Structure 1
């Protein structure tokens, strides 16, 4: 593509432009030349997963997904779109807050001494390509949890600092998406370096791209592009608007924080926990769940030991274990803890909801428990409308 004059400039680079598929490939290569590890969606093992990309050709062009409670299937698309799929089994949490991190190791010396080495956190130069607006908000929530308070997590900061975020606005929500209810999408509002909106119509396959930071503008300046035109802007805006109007799920239009607080003794908790397996799948796929525990391991000689931090779940019976036993000994108490924290008391800790409306917990629940359905049921019970569908 050419770079005609008249393209808007911000911080020395273009603020908005249009890329074609070759431009998207150039974007990946520019980021790699800058020393960044590009992570994005690709098809593997009958799912759209996040992995390192060496080329934009590895993106899931022509693949979409079919979602429902407890169901996930990839499917072929006819339009060749690269980002017309909803959230998969992974989130960017997997890279910023990995499942297992070694904290220190220790070795017994021949003379009887002990050498302890704290694990050095390697800094990572990530570029995340294809961050949905809901996941963009999830990263901001993790930032608040992991680095916004008095106690900061060096392992998280080493990966998050300097990460380059390329958002992709949603134009086709999945059946389990409810980002509109949570105010997190489908448009990307802030927190990105570049934002893409994919357009596939009679005028061709292209991406409206806008920069949100000086570095984003600098990267965009190195990519073959054309000036953004009104037809592409309109098509992109229409796609995002239609997505907002066709969400697959919704939350009840009430203050969820108050709803959770006022329904702690509702009968509905018995109904949902009769179906809950306490497997913790919902916490594993959630892009904002952050709880961890530590485990110590040693070799067979006893001369070498390590401490690892790993993900934990409030569904685990031992999660609240004290000297007298677990605080939350029943599935009812554990499910209620998860949902009321996610939608309610998260506000008390972190000044926001802990839910971004991505729908992963619905899709990856083996029994198909739907937190939006549970919220509606709690609302109906609280207002005396238990029989209302």
Structure 2
């Protein structure tokens, strides 16, 4: 099993085999038998979403997606590929760091006092099937944020520790993907128990499967499989290499951290924030945004109260509210805070970028704001300013 902070790279646990669709279904059955709650992609309500799977038959075989800025559509494919789709509206953050978590409840005693009941961490053993390489990196980033420092989140740790991660290497990037620019894909490099590369060609529909941990190797040993043959290895490698050359977006080839630092007063911020609704969609779908707030609720009698933690967004006017008003009162300041933190100052806090190149924020922005376009525009403005000086 993989653990927070990048464990799961034990060479002793590495084995390789080829699975067919029967082997994929057996994988789900074995994980369920081992007491895992298996979460994976499935088609529902006009989208490819993440949900609990009872069998591999629920996977989106034969479904793909069409993505653009502010647009998402599922579409039928000409083949029966299960993992030939790009990131959907959810990320694995929804299960590891849920939108709402009760922290405690309290009940009034007969003497007028209150008895507080601490909320016990949820006991769950997840297996995530079909984790994209960009999302593998996002999970590692969340590990660093939620459990890598002085203040660790027990609710996160209870879900994350021991989670079994099955990567699905990307063979068909979407029009809004830019994982190559961020160094997060399309190949899975670390942090998985098993990694699948789907191959659909004249030789059939199959999955090259390699283990990344001893537990991954043990699970693989329980599945109907055959030895990894060289044609399948080559086809899998070729599919991933070709995906790297078909990214729909890219970042400017510069140090983004420096670019964000040196363009704080750029005119481009006015242009983008004239289009920004401050709705916070980008933070909700982002697989690494982690900000929360607390809210207290009570029943009508006042005898029962609860405290809940829920996701919050730096686009919310009250997010930086102090006694004299919000620190970031304008949409310009809030958008700039989000982008410069994601691409720049995240490094100062967590030693990495906060962006993995999944493109969700582009797809689910109602006005189609594209952070790669904004980064290129900031780069052009900075280059023009330097040339004119």
Q: 2:44 maps to what in 1?
A: 44
User: Using the alignment, how far apart are the partners of 1:24 and 1:200 within structure 2?
Assistant: 14
Shift of 1:251: 0.1
Q: 1:94 maps to what in 2?
A: 94
Q: 2:160 maps to what in 1?
A: 160
User: Using the alignment, how far apart are the partners of 1:320 and 1:385 within structure 2?
Assistant: 32
Contact 1:133 1:167 in 2 (8 A): yes
User: Using the alignment, how far apart are the partners of 2:207 and 2:117 within structure 1?
Assistant: 48
Q: 2:127 maps to what in 1?
A: 127
Q: What's the Cα RMSD here? A: 1.2
* Counterpart check, 1:32 vs 2:32: yes
| CA displacement, residues 157-210 of structure 1 (integer Å, 9 cap, x when unaligned) | 000000000000001100000000000000000000000000000000000000
| CA displacement, residues 122-168 of structure 1 (integer Å, 9 cap, x when unaligned) | 22100000000000000000000000000000000000000000000
Q: 1:6 maps to what in 2?
A: none
| CA displacement, residues 274-297 of structure 1 (integer Å, 9 cap, x when unaligned) | 000000000000000000000000
Aligned length: 377
User: Using the alignment, how far apart are the partners of 1:277 and 1:247 within structure 2?
Assistant: 27
Structure 2: gaps of 5 or more residues: 1-9
Contact 1:10 1:217 in 2 (8 A): no
Contact 1:14 1:220 in 2 (8 A): no
Contact 1:14 1:221 in 2 (8 A): no
Q: 1:304 maps to what in 2?
A: 304
Q: 1:362 maps to what in 2?
A: 362
Name whichever of 154-163 and 116-125 sits farther off.
Answer: 116-125
Q: 2:266 maps to what in 1?
A: 266
Shift of 1:113: 2.1
Contact 2:42 2:51 in 1 (8 A): yes
User: Using the alignment, how far apart are the partners of 1:265 and 1:336 within structure 2?
Assistant: 10
Q: 1:4 maps to what in 2?
A: none
Q: Secondary structure at the match of 2:352?
A: coil
Structure 1: gaps of 5 or more residues: 1-8
Q: Secondary structure at the match of 2:167?
A: strand
Q: 2:139 maps to what in 1?
A: 139
User: Using the alignment, how far apart are the partners of 2:319 and 2:149 within structure 1?
Assistant: 23
User: Using the alignment, how far apart are the partners of 2:113 and 2:329 within structure 1?
Assistant: 42
Q: 2:235 maps to what in 1?
A: 235
Q: Secondary structure at the match of 2:384?
A: coil
User: Using the alignment, how far apart are the partners of 2:247 and 2:311 within structure 1?
Assistant: 31
- TM-score normalized by the length of structure 1: 0.96
Q: 2:342 maps to what in 1?
A: 342
Structure 1 pair 353–318 and aligned structure 2 pair: CA distance change class (3 A): same
User: Using the alignment, how far apart are the partners of 1:46 and 1:385 within structure 2?
Assistant: 46
Q: 2:245 maps to what in 1?
A: 245
Contact 2:63 2:82 in 1 (8 A): yes
Shift of 1:28: 0.3
Shift of 1:114: 1.2
Shift of 1:14: 6.8
Counterparts of 1:69-88 in structure 2, within 5 Å, are 69-88=69-88
Structure 1 pair 385–240 and aligned structure 2 pair: CA distance change class (3 A): farther
User: Using the alignment, how far apart are the partners of 1:368 and 1:126 within structure 2?
Assistant: 34
Counterparts of 1:219-234 in structure 2, within 5 Å, are 219-234=219-234
User: Using the alignment, how far apart are the partners of 1:336 and 1:91 within structure 2?
Assistant: 24
User: Using the alignment, how far apart are the partners of 1:263 and 1:78 within structure 2?
Assistant: 45
Q: 2:291 maps to what in 1?
A: 291
Structure 1 pair 385–10 and aligned structure 2 pair: CA distance change class (3 A): closer
User: Using the alignment, how far apart are the partners of 2:266 and 2:138 within structure 1?
Assistant: 29
User: Using the alignment, how far apart are the partners of 1:51 and 1:358 within structure 2?
Assistant: 19
User: Using the alignment, how far apart are the partners of 1:262 and 1:132 within structure 2?
Assistant: 32
Contact 2:14 2:212 in 1 (8 A): no
User: Using the alignment, how far apart are the partners of 1:127 and 1:165 within structure 2?
Assistant: 6
